[in-house]
Amino acid sequence: MSRTDYTYKNESNAFICGKCGSGVFAAQSGTLNRNHCPECLWSRHVDLRTGDRMSVCRGMMEPIGIWVKGDGEWSLIHRCVKCGFIRANRIAGDDSHEELLKLAVKPAAMPPLPVNTGRGEEISYKHSGGAK
């Protein structure tokens, strides 16, 4: 009896980002689970629990926010565009700081102003100077 024991474990950490096409490689800076793209921060719904690769969804997961834990550790909140699954992922040392900061300030830059007062009626807040 010979076993075909291919070591997929390490290789499965490498993938091509489905969003921006960057090659994403495993653990370059001490990250155990490199599960999102360091360039655009998008992830893919491949895990049911971190690292198990058991999900059959495979939808793209959009980074929708930053969660700062009590000890100051940053996590990324990902939401699957296909099934709506939401999960927090630890950020990695080589994640794009620019993208992380953009996500972090997004709620402040886009306050939930009332843009919709009723059905079919949309108010657009444009500063059209002088128009009466």
Burial class (CB in 10 A: 0-12, 13-18, 19+), 52: exposed
Q: Which of residues 41-60 bind Zn ion (CB under 5 A)?
A: 45, 57, 59
Distance CA 116, CA 120 (A): 8
- Tokens representing residue 74 in the block: 């940053």
Q: Which of 11, 12, 16, 20 binds Zn ion (CB under 5 A)?
A: 20
Q: How far is the CB of 85 from Zn ion (least distance, A)?
A: 5
Specify which residues 23 forms β-bridges with: 16
Distance CA 14, CA 51 (A): 12
- Tokens representing residue 19 in the block: 């969003």
Q: Which of 13, 19, 35, 66 binds Zn ion (CB under 5 A)?
A: 19
Nearer to Zn ion (CB atom), residue 39 or residue 47: 39
Q: Which of residues 57-116 bind Zn ion (CB under 5 A)?
A: 57, 59, 80, 82-83, 85
In the complex, the residues that contact Zn ion under the rule CB under 5 A are 17, 19-20, 22, 37, 39-40, 45, 57, 59, 80, 82-83, 85
